[in-house]
Structure 1
Amino acid sequence: MNKNKYNRFWRWHFYAALFITPLLITLTLSGIGYLFYPNVENKTYDHLFFGDGAQTEQLTIDEGIEKASLQYKDYSVSKVIILDDPYNARLTMTNEQGDQKYVFLDKHYQIVGSQNAAHTFSNVMRNLHSSLFVGGTVVNYLVELAACWAIFLLVSGIYMTFKGNALKKQNKSTNRQKNLKWHALVGTIITIPMVIIIFTGLPWSAFMGNFIYSAAQKYPAIGTPTLAKQAPTSDMNEIPWATRKNEAPTSTESHAGHAGHGNMANMNMEDMSMNSNRITLQQLMSEVDKNHISKPYSIIYPTSQDGVYTVSKGSNTGVTGLDVSPYEEITSYFDQYNGQFISKVGFEDYGILAKWFTWGIPLHEGHLFGWPNKLLNLAVCLAFLFVIFWGYKTWLARKKKNYISAPPSVKISAGFIAFMVILGLIMPLFGISFIIVAMIEVIITLSNKTKESISS
């Protein structure tokens, strides 16, 4: 075994773990919480999801929406979610400041109640997991960096496990050696599933996520197909990952011109919700049925005079009761003035990259194949926490008082450089951070050598 290579991996493995462990623990715990958000919300919001309103008079869905608009005057409807029984329908209402409210309509389309979107369990877990409640580019990059360096920790740990003595039988094991053994053994077992979980979460990341999505859009053969009429740009979670950033098709021009008297400027959300020339939602739902689009699905309102209704079924919506199988994923478009079906894109139209992430994201979220998926993800996450725990105990067992006790610094080998370059190419943000960290270590090494030469 080349001791220099081992020590180099050990040193970087140690420092990476030391600095990103708090963030990894936060991401893992919030990830576990998000695994079970549908179960938590079904219990916590039982009345809103399944209950009835105070009135029993049967209304149309449009009358129910009108009542909601009158009751919550500062908000206007931007999205309607139609779920399978026994779930109630859910309206997403937004005010001018961008705050959202969820309003629930029962089987009579009477108002059951409402909730602040930002305070729901799923959104709290999602915001903690993806942006630590802070948000912004820097924080999003920090979360992505933690995920990338976690992959380095796992892969470098595999190398040291098979090159070192962690799993070799000892005549008399110390507590440090026992902790190291469990740290190495469990880390080795979970490396592949953990790497899969991390990589399937990267499509939502700030840097690599945009890179992946751009590649899917630029190369239709492996990503998302180029259609004559493409999917709308939207930040709505219910639009499938593969189509959520594309350019919107338009409704029939003659209808749009009549509605706006030739003015094609964008309308605000309240103006759109009051557009009397648009078909009713009940009529739209009839057209959706005629096109054999079954529940559950979400309806995104048009946001301009020539916009369209977007009706979608997604495998990664983040909404309790709305997720479907990847094979059922579809994004379809209907004319807002006559309800005519315009076009659609479904799973069968995706390229291999889009199909991979359409499968990968629900696998990451724990609902691709039901309870076994949740339990598998939970087991991997708990094992990862134990790996961190045993690694921490191993360090404390050899740590000298008042010293960090980092592994020794050695010359960087060609093999180590090649390994880091490969990881950097696969994960560009990791590559950039590696260059920065390497430069810092070079500066520290040169500084220490200068001090040693002066003292001698």
Structure 2
Amino acid sequence: MEKTNYTRFWRWHFYAALFITPLLITLTLSGIGYLFYTNVENNWYKNEFFNQSSQTEQLTIDQGMEKAKQTFKDYSVSKVIVLEDPYNTRLTMTNKDGDQKYVFLDSNYQIVGSQNPKYTFSNVMREVHSSLFVGGTVVNYLVELAACWAIFLLLSGIYMTFKGRALKKEPNPSKRQKNLKWHALIGTIITIPMVIIIFTGLPWSALMGDFIYSAAQKYPSIGTPALKQNPPTSDISEIPWATRKNEPPASTGGSHAEHNGMAAMDHTSNPSGMIAVQQLMNEVKQADISKPYSIIYPKNEQGVYTVSKSSNTGVTGLDVSPYDEVTAYFDQYSGKLISKVGFEDYGILAKWFTWGIPLHEGHLFGWLNKVLNLVVCLLFLLVIFWGFRTWLTRKKKNSLSAPPNLSSKLSVGFIIFMLLLGCMMPLFGISLILAVLIEIILSFKKKFQNMNIAK
């Protein structure tokens, strides 16, 4: 039975690797790129991030925002990112079509430069890593599926390593045995860290990510605290993962608070009695929220200012320690702090992923985190390389040379293992059903061919 299990794991390991290897290479390389996005952007965007404008007149932040609106017609400010020195302040401006523009203000709140968000290094790496820069539900599921099968590859590889002869010393090892040994040895070393990296990235995935977040919201004792809130303002990446889909409470003041919200508010000209951003920043300071933080504008006249510090923003200079995370809601008319949620208020599930996501992104504990993630990713690419070489050394000409398809019954251990993985990763479970159906079809095809040969 052990030999049967080994061959079956080998066959599924082979086909899984054959189909998802291109995706795994893409995800690993883009992950390495994203790992160092802050270092790249600090050099590529020195002018926008750190330089001063030739205009030296001191403006208030509100005057700087008004000037940005006049410079970029049809755009209004939807978000302000207030960073620590020496970084410049960054505005996110949005037009009626939903197009965005990043505008940078220096210490005098004069315009330094602007960017198209679609093509910044961090956003390109993130889009490739999460959706292959194509996007769409199907692609998002495909990326998640590749991550799930990568876990199967690692765990099945561990089984075959210790049940087979990969690490056993051979007197005169062949080229294939040498490649297999390196493939198995490095795969064994990186299995635990690689599984951790994959699992800490799953909160952003399409199916499992939504499941995790729904569980965190449904059970506040283990997830995120329940707040009495109105409909959500926006799904903004700068809001911490644990609270990004929370519904912010409504502002109570203002002459237009009782009216239905507009599609886009003219934030800079302050038509509806909204407090100035400088006044809001004073209120933020009074609430003991230090830089860096982002200010997300209300989307309608009943909305609130959302001020957040997050450990997983994807914005250079904005990430903080998970323990410093905070999401605060301020009345847009009075500036009064309505509610505030911090890391200490999260349940164990939300705390785990708030801690795990920056570990996945490589900035939980500084450069050491980056280096460790980089080493694991590079070794993973080597595992793929040696696996490919191992296959080539056994591959026959004009043949796929796949491991044999066994007709014997499945062992209880194999079934339990696959069921556990299928329950832990629902998308993997769904794909597993399809894989089993394909195996059954191939088995019937083989029997039919044997019957014809016998005749």
Short-chain TM bin:
over 0.9
| Equivalent position amino acid for 2:297 in 1 | Y
Q: Does 1:259 align with 2:256?
A: yes
The equivalent residue for 1:432 is 430
Tell me the CA shift for residue 231 of structure 1.
9.4
Tell me the CA shift for residue 417 of structure 1.
1.3
Q: Does 1:449 align with 2:444?
A: no
Deviations 1:264-284 (A, max 9, x none): x12122445443310000000
- Once residues 178 and 138 of structure 2 are traced to their aligned partners in structure 1, the CA distance between those partners, rounded to angstroms, is 39
- Once residues 232 and 58 of structure 1 are traced to their aligned partners in structure 2, the CA distance between those partners, rounded to angstroms, is 36
| Equivalent position amino acid for 1:449 in 2 | K
The equivalent residue for 2:71 is 71
Alignment gaps of 5+ in structure 1 = none
The equivalent residue for 1:268 is 263
- The list of structure 1 runs, each at least 4 consecutive aligned residues, that deviate by more than 3 angstroms after superposition, is 228-233, 270-275
Q: CA RMSD in A?
A: 1.2
Check whether the contact 1:231–1:243 (CA below 8 A) recurs between aligned residues: no
Check whether the contact 1:76–1:273 (CA below 8 A) recurs between aligned residues: yes
Tell me the CA shift for residue 430 of structure 1.
0.2
Tell me the CA shift for residue 414 of structure 1.
2.0
Q: Does 1:386 align with 2:388?
A: no
- Once residues 313 and 337 of structure 1 are traced to their aligned partners in structure 2, the CA distance between those partners, rounded to angstroms, is 22
- Once residues 101 and 434 of structure 1 are traced to their aligned partners in structure 2, the CA distance between those partners, rounded to angstroms, is 43
Tell me the CA shift for residue 227 of structure 1.
2.4
The DSSP-based 3-state class of the residue aligned with 2:288 is: coil
Tell me the CA shift for residue 64 of structure 1.
0.1
Alignment gaps of 5+ in structure 2 = none
Residues matched between the structures, number: 451
- Once residues 342 and 230 of structure 2 are traced to their aligned partners in structure 1, the CA distance between those partners, rounded to angstroms, is 12
The DSSP-based 3-state class of the residue aligned with 1:242 is: helix
Selected match of 1:302 from 298, 305, 309: 298
The equivalent residue for 1:95 is 95
Tell me the CA shift for residue 94 of structure 1.
1.1
- Once residues 98 and 130 of structure 2 are traced to their aligned partners in structure 1, the CA distance between those partners, rounded to angstroms, is 20
The equivalent residue for 2:56 is 56
Selected match of 2:339 from 335, 338, 343: 343
| Equivalent position amino acid for 2:264 in 1 | M
The DSSP-based 3-state class of the residue aligned with 2:418 is: helix
The equivalent residue for 1:355 is 351
Tell me the CA shift for residue 415 of structure 1.
1.4
Q: Give identity over the alignment, percent.
A: 72
Deviations 1:283-330 (A, max 9, x none): 000001111110000000001111000000000000000000000000
**Superposition map of 1:26-425 within 5 A:** 26-229=26-229, 232-252=232-252, 255-256=253-254, 258-259=255-256, 262-263=258-259, 265-276=260-271, 277-410=273-406, 411=408, 412-425=410-423
Check whether the contact 2:298–2:304 (CA below 8 A) recurs between aligned residues: yes
| Equivalent position amino acid for 1:372 in 2 | L
The DSSP-based 3-state class of the residue aligned with 1:91 is: strand
- Once residues 39 and 281 of structure 1 are traced to their aligned partners in structure 2, the CA distance between those partners, rounded to angstroms, is 30
- Once residues 280 and 65 of structure 1 are traced to their aligned partners in structure 2, the CA distance between those partners, rounded to angstroms, is 11
| Equivalent position amino acid for 1:138 in 2 | V
- Once residues 128 and 441 of structure 1 are traced to their aligned partners in structure 2, the CA distance between those partners, rounded to angstroms, is 32
| Equivalent position amino acid for 1:123 in 2 | N
- Once residues 259 and 54 of structure 1 are traced to their aligned partners in structure 2, the CA distance between those partners, rounded to angstroms, is 40
Tell me the CA shift for residue 441 of structure 1.
1.3
- Once residues 63 and 268 of structure 2 are traced to their aligned partners in structure 1, the CA distance between those partners, rounded to angstroms, is 13
Residues 267 and 389 of structure 1, relative CA distance in 2, 3 Å threshold: same
